[in-house]
Chains A and B, each alone.
Chain A
Amino acid sequence: MQVSQEKRRNYRPLVSSKTLQKTMGRYYALTNYHRYWGKLMRRPLAWVTSGAPVELLRAFNIHSAYPEQYAAIYSARNATVNLCEVAEAAGYSQDLCSYARSNIGGVLRPDLAPLGGMPKPDLLVACNNICGTVLKWYEVLARHFDVPLLVLDTPFLTGELTTQAKEYVLEQLNAMVTDLEKITHRRLDEKKLAQQMSLSREITSLWIETRQYCRASPSPLNAPDLFINMAPIVVLRGSHEGINFYRKLRDEVKERVDLAQGAIENERIRLVWDNIAIWPQLFSFYKMFSEKGACFVTDTYSGGWAVEQAPGTPLESLAATYTEVFLNRSPKYRANQLINLIKEFKADGFVMHSNRSCKPYSLVQEVIRKEVIHETGVPGLMIEADMADPRAYAEEPVRNRVQAFLETFDDL
């Protein structure tokens, strides 16, 4: 019985995943062969943090690669431990974010990294709207590669975005434009920037629309679907390929809703996910839920890219949009965000991943958990793991908690 249950597929595969693979495959090939075409096309390669204003970089014809994205791939391909050990042997603490550790490990030993590691950057762009770790991490990279590092400092928002904060960031963006002009030997093309902003708006609205369909019951997508399908909005924001892919995905998801097809069989329990995916256990972990009829209908992590651009001139809009990202905001804001998701998606509960690596995401979770339980009356589970380092994941205790949590929805 156990075996046949194991084999039973409680996942409905997405047809659009072929396009996803093609789109991402092309992006990785392009990125990894950058040394052959970059100079020729006068397109420098930047390593950027996930919260960097890439629209501006794209307007300068800069090709962006994301160490965080590569680190997630390292993890899904079981390379993180080896790479982290390289970084740890070089003196980096085990307490450092595992994306940073595995990226640094990959820089030191590209032979151990999937895809042969990342191609050498011409410049680095870090924005601390996601965390403070990226500043020191990128400083290390800047020293190692001896390339310019551009930093965008976005002040933490305890409440709403203030005029001073916005002006402070805007000033830095103006300075960044000057720096980029020097680095690329090009003037900023305002028209191109506006065009990039509009493409970015388009892709974002497709991602928002797709996610909204998950308010249906059964939900057409589950958390692993959301995590896998967020890749293009991270790395191909503002590109036509990205938009084409999200049109396909949107159409397929809409069709699922029309046909009342759920992402999992027999959806019984609807949950909201908080924090980065557990990449090394992407399927085995979420299967503990799906086999009991529990579906993650939405999440805060991949939802981080489902945010509309703020109004104003392109640079003003970038200043506000990138400062207002949820990781740069108060626990109160984040609690409200979860409360709204639970209400909007009619969720029965929520699960928080206390992620050893990501301190800004995880440290305040217990406070948020209490507040959300109090406000919504639905139960919330806390799981301790790491987004990339499997050494911080203990399967049995996790299974135990998940089971106990799901039992609270039954009549036991």
Chain B
Amino acid sequence: MTKYFVGVDIGSLTVKVVLINDGLEILGQLKTRAGYSGKDVATRLKEQLLAESCLTPQRISATVATGYGRVTFPADREVSEITCQAKGISHLFPSSRTIIDIGGQDSKVIKLLPNGRVGDFTMNDKCAAGTGRFLEVMASALEVEWPEIGELVSSSKNPTKISSFCTVFAESEIISQVSAGALKSDILAGVCDSVASRVASMTRRTGLEKDIVFTGGVALNRGVVNALTKQLGYPLLVFQEPVITAALGAALLAREIHKSSI
């Protein structure tokens, strides 16, 4: 009988749930805003995913939880998102050696060993610079919806310079650029450059090795992808659903943990 495994990633902004089978196929995935209680949202999302796949909870052999809400979620094991991300990405891109993950609340760079395990990692700390939150705040100051960013940025000819890493200072910098008459597209391009330069220096610090995979919600933003590619001087691999790669890793780990326990 086929076995099923679930990975749950309760992040600061979104919750993601992934279902896989023994044959490593992704059977389904769901994501939504984490809201007030990431744990409740995750529980509902998992139920919904099982219902859509016509599976009862009993059919799930193991669940692994990751992300900031991992500790309270009832799972067979909780694993840090660094280990999960490494698992997910090395499964999707076996040639990857460097992972750049920009999520809502933090950004991290993970160095992978040839066997796909974590060799080293660097994370931003106690600061929203270089994270999804930074982009969100700036986009909302400019009254731009998240999906529009990529397009607007690609039309920019003269990106402005955002010199401050601090979210609050950068926001006031933007406001003064707006009142000085700078174009929205140019300011947004400046914002993307700022995120990219912060993350690029973190990547260089951890050690740059090909292939480089860019993942996390911000990897959907073409503006940042292009800016980061330019700054690093290497092409970036991006999975079509970059938001779910840690949840996928969690599901893969659920499968491994289950296998080693029998």
A residues with a Cβ closer than 8 A to B are 366, 373, 379-380, 382, 384, 392, 394, 396-397, 400-401, 403-404, 407-408, 411-412
Query: Which residues of the partner chain A approach B123 to less than 8 Å between Cβ atoms?
Result: 397, 400-401
What residue of chain B has the Cβ atom nearest to residue A392's Cβ?
A: B126
The reply on B143 being an interface residue by CB < 8 A is no
Question: Contact: A397 with B106, CB < 8 Å?
Answer: yes
How far in angstroms is the closest Cβ of chain A from B109? 12
Whether B205 pairs with A366 at a CB distance below 8 angstroms is yes
Is there an interface contact between B117 and A400, defined as CB atoms closer than 8 Å? no
Give chain B nearest CB distance to A98 CB in angstroms: 16
Q: Are A412 and B125 touching (Cβ within 8 A)?
A: no
A407-B80 in contact (CB<8A):
yes
Q: What's the dominant secondary structure at chain B's contact region?
A: mixed
Pull 22 A–B residue pairs with CB atoms less than 8 Å apart, ordered by A. Answer: A373-B120, A380-B120, A384-B125, A392-B126, A394-B126, A396-B68, A397-B125, A400-B80, A400-B123, A401-B82, A401-B121, A401-B123, A403-B79, A404-B82, A407-B79, A407-B80, A407-B83, A408-B118, A411-B260, A412-B117, A412-B253, A412-B256
Taking A366-B205, A400-B82 as contacts, is the C-beta distance between A408 and B106 under 8 angstroms?
no
Q: Give A397 to B118 CA distance when docked, in angstroms.
A: 18
Is the pair A404, B121 in contact by a Cβ cutoff of 8 Å?
Answer: yes
Which B residues between 178 and 215 are near A, CB-CB below 8 angstroms?
205
Interface of A, helix, strand, loop or mixed by DSSP: helix
B125 adjacent to A407 (CB under 8 Å): no
Q: Which B residues between 94 and 148 are near A, CB-CB below 8 angstroms?
A: 106, 117-123, 125-126
Which residues does chain A contribute within 8 Å of B117, judged by CB atoms?
408, 412
Chain A's nearest CB lies how many Å from the CB of B40? 19
- Among B123, B256, B260, find the residue whose CB has the most chain A CB atoms closer than 10 A: B123
Task: Enumerate chain B residues within 8 angstroms of A380, measured Cβ to Cβ.
Answer: 120
Question: How many inter-chain residue pairs (CB < 8 Å) link A and B?
Answer: 48
Given contacts A397-B125, A404-B118, contact A412 B79 (CB under 8 A): yes
| Alpha-carbon separation in the docked complex, A408 to B112 (Å) | 11
Which among A382, A392, A404, A407 has the greatest number of chain B C-beta atoms within 10 A? A404
**Cα distance A404–B118 when bound, in Å?**
9
Measured in the bound complex, the distance between the Cα atoms of B137 and A119 in whole Å is 50
Q: B81 within 8 Å of A by Cβ?
A: yes
Q: Which residue of B lies closest to A382 (CB)?
A: B122
Would B83 and A412 count as touching, CB distance under 8 A?
A: yes
| Cβ of A394 to closest chain B Cβ, rounded Å | 5
> Closest chain A residue to B207 by CB distance?
A370
Interface residues of B (CB under 8 A from A): 68, 79-83, 87, 106, 117-123, 125-126, 205, 253, 256, 260
A366 to B205, alpha carbons, bound, how many Å? 9
Question: Lowest 4 A-B CB distances belong to which pairs?
Answer: A404-B82, A404-B80, A403-B80, A407-B83
In the complex the two chains form, what is the Cα distance from A403 to B83 in whole Å?
Answer: 9
Cβ B126 vs Cβ A384 within 8 A:
yes
* Residues of chain A with a CB closer than 8 A to B80's CB: 400-401, 403-404, 407
Q: How many Å lie between the Cα of A65 and that of B235 in the bound state? A: 59
Establish whether residues A379 and B120, one from each chain, have CB atoms under 8 Å apart when the complex forms. yes
Cα distance, A380 to B123, chains bound together (Å)? 14
- B residues in contact with A366, CB < 8 Å: 205
Other 9 A-B pairs with CB < 8 A, given A384-B126, A400-B81, A408-B117: A373-B120, A382-B122, A394-B126, A396-B68, A400-B82, A408-B83, A412-B83, A412-B87, A412-B256
Least CB distance from B205 to A in Å reads 7
Q: Which residue of B lies closest to A354 (CB)?
A: B125
CB distance from B216 to the nearest CB of A (A): 15
Q: Are B126 and A397 neighbours in the complex by a CB distance under 8 Å?
A: yes
Q: How near does chain A come to B106, taking the closest CB pair, in angstroms?
A: 7
User: Nearest Cβ distance between residue A338 and chain B, in whole angstroms?
Assistant: 16
Complex: A403 Cα to B118 Cα, angstroms: 12
Shortest A281–chain B CB gap in Å is 15
B251 to chain A, nearest CB (A): 14
With A and B bound together, what is the CA distance between A404 and B81 in angstroms?
A: 8
CB-CB under 8 A from B119, the residues of chain A are 379
Q: A408–B83 Cα gap in the complex (Å)?
A: 8
> CA of A403 to CA of B205 in the docked complex: distance in angstroms?
21
B174 → chain A, closest Cβ, in Å?
26
Q: Which residues of A are found within 8 Å of B87, using beta-carbon distances? A: 412
Contacting residues, chain A, for B83 (C-beta < 8 A):
404, 407-408, 412
State the Cβ distance, A320 to closest chain B Cβ, in Å.
36
Smallest Cβ-Cβ distance to B118: which chain A residue: A408
Instruction: Output the least CB separation between A392 and chain B (Å).
Output: 8
A133–B205 CA distance with the chains assembled, in angstroms: 28
Chain A hits for B121, CB < 8 A: 401, 404
Contacting residues, chain A, for B82 (C-beta < 8 A): 400-401, 404, 407
Residue of B nearest to A402 (CB): B80
Give Cα A400 to B125, complex, Å. 11
Q: What distance in Å separates the Cβ of B101 from its nearest Cβ neighbour in chain A?
A: 12
Q: How far is the CA of A177 from the CA of B44 in the complex (A)?
A: 75
Closest to A380 in B: B120
CA distance A397 to B105 in the complex (A): 10
Measured CB to CB, the closest approach of chain A to B127, in angstroms, equals 10
